Chain A
Amino acid sequence: MCHLITHFLEVESFFFCCSPGSFHRFSFPMASPLHDSPNAAVNGTSAVEAKSRLPKRSRLHADSSPPLFTPSDILSEFSHHDPTVARINNGSFGSCPSSVVSAQHDFQLQWLQQPDDFYFNQLQPKILQSRTIIKDLINADHVDEVSIVDNATTAAAIVLQQMAWGFAEGKFNHGDAAVMLHYAYGAVKKSVEAYVTRAGGCVFEVPLPFPANSVDEIVHEFRQALQRGKQNGRRVRLAVIDHVTSMPTVVIPVKELVTICREEGVDQVFVDAAHGIGCVDVDMKQIGADFYTSNLHKWYFCPPSVAFLYCKRSINNSDLHHPVVSHEYGNGLAIESAWIGTRDYSAQLVVPKALEFINRFEDGIDGIKKRNHESVVEMGKMLVEAWGTHLGCPPEMCSSMVMVGLPAYLGISSDRDALNLRTCLREKFGVEVPIYYRSPKDGEDGVVTGYARISYQVYNKVEDYYKFRDAINQLVHNAFTCASLPNS
């Protein structure tokens, strides 16, 4: 017999559990909350001080706040991360502390114990609870405006499918435009192709300079793209704007771009903020978009996968549907999304637990964001100084991620090179970091063509970035170039 270990503290014995042929009792030990740890008494006073400084919104229970996490608590919460890896890529797949994973397991167990009862009596109220918390976090007016979906990719499909119907049903004219950033996420670009181009729309991309120098550049390019979109009497039916682009990563001045869209008569604005919540400030009323989506499993400590899609109530939303149609069809997007057939909805139910986790950091999510940003800038500067390169944008245009130029010597000259270098760093040096290939423009010579996107999250430490620094220095020292990598 073998029992599951809470918190995944003993990875080896867990793997032992899974040998074929032996019989296992599947058991869910009750989660023991970390705030019962021996450090609780030590943190008592600082918790009291912290409480008075926190904005009221981020406190679930203002009176009985658990103590702040110590560094050793944090190590424990992320002890399931591979200890041999310098994990400086929170941006791609996010991270989830073990206390939230435990809470998720509890919900999974409840379902498995008696699914009918869970379905009829628990699931919907709990999803509503998560939605309500999100509504407060993002300053939405009404919980009806908040739907929970799997990820930003799904949210994009929802918004874009609505566009496709607009063309199919003659609400839009053939050739009407959609505008998106050149650096829009690959999946979103494909979704635009599948739902807009296929339905007869025209797509315009906003070219953005990289490295980025100022917000003004972005605003200028955006205005120009809108003008192109409006030519020949076309209407711009949708603008898709990233809040924080993925590769290369830059924080986009969304509020200003949304204002420009309103001035220029763009029908609807969809902000793809996959990296938004927990990374930048997310205030729906301030940003003013019609649709806004963000993944909670990237920077908000939820397990894979859960995202919210905000839809401003003032616009006609009766036409927004989840593409996986189930019996709730027609009852509003939030209700439709809360049941799309039998699935594991547990990731959607632990938002309260994630909030609890976050509030055990000084200043809650605001404190985390601030410290992540400052640390990633500091680490970025340390790396570019060590390598003699530069950052991909000024500090005020990055969030908890920043692009760091790689030595030109490495000879990154294609996307394939970037991927191969990434694999080499993972397999030979134990460093996980995505690499971006920036092709040189006409006239540019000997420039930096590769950038690493480093992330900083609460579990990172300076040694992670030293490991990366040293790995690159080692490669350069060994006269390594990407040309020498096998082309897999």
Chain B
Amino acid sequence: MQHEDPRNGESAHRSSKKPKLSSKFITESDTRDEFSHHQPRVARINNGSFGSCPGSVLTAQRHWQLQFLCQPDAFYFNTLRDGITASRKIIKDLINADHVDEVSLVDNATTAAAIVLQRIGLSFAEGKFQKNDTVLMLHCAFQAVKKSIQAYVTRAGGSVIEVRLPFPVNSEEEIISEFKKSIEEGKSNGRKIRLAIIDHITSMPSVVIPVKELVRICRAEGIEQVFVDAAHAIGSVKVDVKEVGADFYVSNLHKWFFCPPSVAFLYCKNSTSSSDLHHPVVSHEYGNGLPIESSWIGTRDYSSQLVVPSVLDFVNRFEGGIDGIMKRNHDEVVKMGKMLAESWGTNLGTPPEMSAAMIMVGLPSRLCLNSEEDAVTLRSHLRDHYGVEVPIFHQVSKDGEEEVRDKDGFITGYVRISHQVYNKLEDYEKLRDAINQLVEDGKTCKMLYTE
């Protein structure tokens, strides 16, 4: 299987500090094999929603699951904790954290949000915060996070400020300016802003947010704590938690870092402010620190938390490791985005430098996508009739804002295309052709309801 590869001499010279374990790079055919369990007839251009996991990592996961089933007590006492610590150490190095104590593993960003927000809620309930002190978030924050804020902050008496970001967006300055305005609003009437929740990469519509700059502004404006919801970040943009400088930073490893569902890390800057954080599912490790609490929340399958070493092996089979993967994904998704926009006569929702491995592409106005329902219907139609999986965003027109047009009308819908290592040109051509077909047939979203 393994043979000497003449490129090895060069690659060792060119590659980043990451260790190379195998002597050759993964080939295209190897990559296809690794993802051969993906449904073959689907143009799967939505890695952003549920991620993907290669066959070799799934095999490693089975190995862990079998070990547990074989002798669960021995696994619990002798294996589990060390396995989780090994994963946490790898992540600590990947994200440039200072200490492994700053890294907890949880199911997903949704869980991390509950951990941080539950503590905020307690602070209101226990009188540490005044009623109407504020939590700041982006208007397009992930819906689950918005509900979590409702459940833990609003319910406990806190108020919420939403930062309305422009979309389509042209520059980081637009975002920074809106953010500053909202901070002013949050501080009005003598309120304190207790927490700012900032997405590193928003979900819908997807935009890479200048988090480092926004965190700096938060510090300058006296915002107590900053929580960066970076669900999409790791494996998609560079993640350096010290550089970003937030108090809390979460990212899902099952989205862009090839882990099976589901595992995420929650980074907490090692300071007294994070000592009162608890996992909401309280078990016998309560009080031993969040990483330890999170490593046992009752009997469950922890295998997805244990395969991080295997994932590192996998990404290091690619030229440039995860950095190489990120760069190629970015270059490809921008290229595909431009190809689609050109074919449809539409636009990109963000400039390339504000996109990572996903990009928003305007849909032809003739589809008349005028509601959330239309977006859902079109998405299902593409899945069921064209074998294309892609999420669709409905752009609500805002008063006073200049709207983007194509030759026939206003652009009110966008697809969010993703590019991951298993994608190929044909996937995007399939989407291109499907949309062109619908337009050619004179179809609008409303007409699709009945089909």
Q: List A residues at the B interface (Cβ < 8 Å).
A: 4, 8, 11, 14-15, 17-18, 20-28, 80-82, 85, 87, 89, 92-96, 101, 109, 111-117, 119-120, 150-154, 156-157, 160-161, 165, 168, 186-187, 190-191, 193-195, 198-199, 295, 297, 303-305, 321, 323-330, 340-344, 347, 423, 426, 432
With a cutoff of 8 Å between Cβ atoms, the chain A residues found around residue B271 in the complex are none
**B144 near A23 (CB under 8 angstroms)?**
no
Task: State the Cβ distance, B352 to closest chain A Cβ, in Å.
Answer: 26
Q: Which of B72, B278, B283, B284 contacts A93 (CB 8 A)?
A: B72
With a cutoff of 8 Å between Cβ atoms, the chain A residues found around residue B152 in the complex are 325
**B261 near A432 (CB under 8 angstroms)?**
no
**B284 near A92 (CB under 8 angstroms)?**
no
* 6 further contact pairs, Cβ within 8 A, besides A20-B21, A27-B37, A340-B107: A24-B59, A26-B36, A152-B298, A323-B114, A325-B113, A342-B252
Interface residue stretch chosen among B45-53, B188-196, B240-248, B330-338 = B45-53
Interface residue stretch chosen among B63-71, B220-228, B358-366, B426-434 = B63-71
**A323 near B59 (CB under 8 angstroms)?**
no
Contact flag A154-B56 (CB < 8 Å), given A191-B282, A327-B147, A342-B50: no
Nearest A-chain residue to B262, judged by Cβ: A343
**A304 near B30 (CB under 8 angstroms)?**
no
Interface residues on B, range: 35 or more
**A305 near B2 (CB under 8 angstroms)?**
no
Interface positions of B from 275 to 319, Cβ below 8 Å from A = 278, 280-284, 286-287, 297-301, 304, 310, 313
With a cutoff of 8 Å between Cβ atoms, the chain A residues found around residue B117 in the complex are 325
**A190 near B283 (CB under 8 angstroms)?**
yes
Nearest A-chain residue to B49, judged by Cβ: A116
Q: Is B118 an interface residue (CB 8 A)?
A: yes
Closest 10 CB pairs of A and B: A26-B55, A341-B110, A153-B298, A323-B280, A93-B72, A115-B50, A329-B147, A168-B125, A190-B286, A151-B298
**B144 near A326 (CB under 8 angstroms)?**
yes
With a cutoff of 8 Å between Cβ atoms, the chain A residues found around residue B143 in the complex are 327
With a cutoff of 8 Å between Cβ atoms, the chain A residues found around residue B254 in the complex are 342
**A304 near B110 (CB under 8 angstroms)?**
no
Task: State the Cβ distance, B382 to closest chain A Cβ, in Å.
Answer: 11
Task: State the Cβ distance, A102 to closest chain B Cβ, in Å.
Answer: 12
**B301 near A303 (CB under 8 angstroms)?**
yes
**B125 near A17 (CB under 8 angstroms)?**
no
Task: State the Cβ distance, A195 to closest chain B Cβ, in Å.
Answer: 7
Q: Which of B2, B74, B299, B389 contacts A94 (CB 8 A)?
A: B299
**B298 near A187 (CB under 8 angstroms)?**
yes
With a cutoff of 8 Å between Cβ atoms, the chain B residues found around residue A193 in the complex are 282, 286
Residue among A116, A321, A329 with most chain B CB within 10 A = A116
With a cutoff of 8 Å between Cβ atoms, the chain A residues found around residue B110 in the complex are 324-326, 340-342
Q: Which of B156, B282, B389 contacts A114 (CB 8 A)?
A: B389
With a cutoff of 8 Å between Cβ atoms, the chain A residues found around residue B74 in the complex are 82, 85, 426, 432
Q: Which of B37, B42, B108 contacts A28 (CB 8 A)?
A: B37
**B281 near A154 (CB under 8 angstroms)?**
yes
Nearest A-chain residue to B36, judged by Cβ: A25
Q: Is B160 an interface residue (CB 8 A)?
A: no
**A20 near B298 (CB under 8 angstroms)?**
no
Interface positions of B from 116 to 155, Cβ below 8 Å from A = 117-118, 122, 125, 143-144, 147-148, 150-152, 155
Alpha-carbon distance A327/B146, docked complex (angstroms)? 8
Alpha-carbon distance A86/B107, docked complex (angstroms)? 33
A-B contacts at CB below 8 angstroms, number: 228
Q: Which of A85, A116, A160, A321 contacts B71 (CB 8 A)?
A: A85
With a cutoff of 8 Å between Cβ atoms, the chain A residues found around residue B71 in the complex are 81-82, 85, 87, 432
Interface positions of B from 314 to 354, Cβ below 8 Å from A = none
**A112 near B281 (CB under 8 angstroms)?**
no
**B51 near A341 (CB under 8 angstroms)?**
no
Contact flag A342-B66 (CB < 8 Å), given A153-B283, A295-B299, A323-B281: no
With a cutoff of 8 Å between Cβ atoms, the chain B residues found around residue A112 in the complex are 37-38, 52-53, 58, 260
**B66 near A150 (CB under 8 angstroms)?**
no
With a cutoff of 8 Å between Cβ atoms, the chain A residues found around residue B113 in the complex are 325
Contact flag A18-B60 (CB < 8 Å), given A151-B300, A343-B107: yes
Nearest A-chain residue to B53, judged by Cβ: A112
Q: Is B357 an interface residue (CB 8 A)?
A: no
With a cutoff of 8 Å between Cβ atoms, the chain A residues found around residue B66 in the complex are 8, 11, 14, 80
Alpha-carbon distance A305/B303, docked complex (angstroms)? 12
Alpha-carbon distance A154/B155, docked complex (angstroms)? 22
**A4 near B109 (CB under 8 angstroms)?**
no
**B297 near A116 (CB under 8 angstroms)?**
no
Alpha-carbon distance A26/B62, docked complex (angstroms)? 10
Task: State the Cβ distance, B120 to closest chain A Cβ, in Å.
Answer: 13
With a cutoff of 8 Å between Cβ atoms, the chain B residues found around residue A329 in the complex are 147-148, 150-151
Q: Is B22 an interface residue (CB 8 A)?
A: yes
**B281 near A157 (CB under 8 angstroms)?**
yes
With a cutoff of 8 Å between Cβ atoms, the chain B residues found around residue A160 in the complex are 282
**B278 near A194 (CB under 8 angstroms)?**
yes
Nearest B-chain residue to A323, judged by Cβ: B280
Nearest A-chain residue to B108, judged by Cβ: A341
Alpha-carbon distance A330/B154, docked complex (angstroms)? 14
**A116 near B383 (CB under 8 angstroms)?**
yes
Residue among B36, B50, B118, B389 with most chain A CB within 10 A = B50
* 14 CB < 8 A contacts A-B: A18-B59, A23-B1, A26-B36, A27-B37, A92-B72, A93-B73, A94-B299, A115-B49, A187-B283, A190-B282, A323-B281, A327-B143, A329-B151, A343-B108
Alpha-carbon distance A261/B429, docked complex (angstroms)? 67
**A80 near B21 (CB under 8 angstroms)?**
no
Q: Which of B62, B107, B301, B383 contacts A341 (CB 8 A)?
A: B107
**A186 near B147 (CB under 8 angstroms)?**
no
Nearest A-chain residue to B280, judged by Cβ: A323
**B50 near A190 (CB under 8 angstroms)?**
no
With a cutoff of 8 Å between Cβ atoms, the chain A residues found around residue B280 in the complex are 157, 161, 323-324
With a cutoff of 8 Å between Cβ atoms, the chain A residues found around residue B33 in the complex are 23, 25
Alpha-carbon distance A186/B298, docked complex (angstroms)? 11
Q: Is B44 an interface residue (CB 8 A)?
A: yes
Q: Is B39 an interface residue (CB 8 A)?
A: yes
**B56 near A23 (CB under 8 angstroms)?**
yes
Contact flag A168-B156 (CB < 8 Å), given A116-B46, A117-B383, A190-B286: yes
Contact flag A432-B73 (CB < 8 Å), given A150-B298, A324-B114, A327-B143: yes
Nearest A-chain residue to B252, judged by Cβ: A342
Nearest B-chain residue to A112, judged by Cβ: B37
Task: State the Cβ distance, B293 to closest chain A Cβ, in Å.
Answer: 9
Alpha-carbon distance A109/B58, docked complex (angstroms)? 10
With a cutoff of 8 Å between Cβ atoms, the chain A residues found around residue B60 in the complex are 18
Q: Is B111 an interface residue (CB 8 A)?
A: yes
Task: State the Cβ distance, A15 to closest chain B Cβ, in Å.
Answer: 7
Alpha-carbon distance A303/B49, docked complex (angstroms)? 26
Q: Is B423 an interface residue (CB 8 A)?
A: no
Q: Is B380 an interface residue (CB 8 A)?
A: yes
Contact flag A22-B70 (CB < 8 Å), given A325-B114, A341-B262: no
Nearest B-chain residue to A297, judged by Cβ: B299
Alpha-carbon distance A161/B121, docked complex (angstroms)? 12
**A114 near B44 (CB under 8 angstroms)?**
yes
Nearest B-chain residue to A20, judged by Cβ: B313
Alpha-carbon distance A199/B117, docked complex (angstroms)? 17
With a cutoff of 8 Å between Cβ atoms, the chain A residues found around residue B278 in the complex are 194
Alpha-carbon distance A191/B297, docked complex (angstroms)? 11
With a cutoff of 8 Å between Cβ atoms, the chain B residues found around residue A199 in the complex are 125
Alpha-carbon distance A323/B152, docked complex (angstroms)? 9
Alpha-carbon distance A85/B73, docked complex (angstroms)? 11
Alpha-carbon distance A186/B285, docked complex (angstroms)? 9
Task: State the Cβ distance, B191 to closest chain A Cβ, in Å.
Answer: 21
Alpha-carbon distance A160/B68, docked complex (angstroms)? 30
With a cutoff of 8 Å between Cβ atoms, the chain A residues found around residue B58 in the complex are 26, 112
Residue among B21, B77, B107, B122 with most chain A CB within 10 A = B107
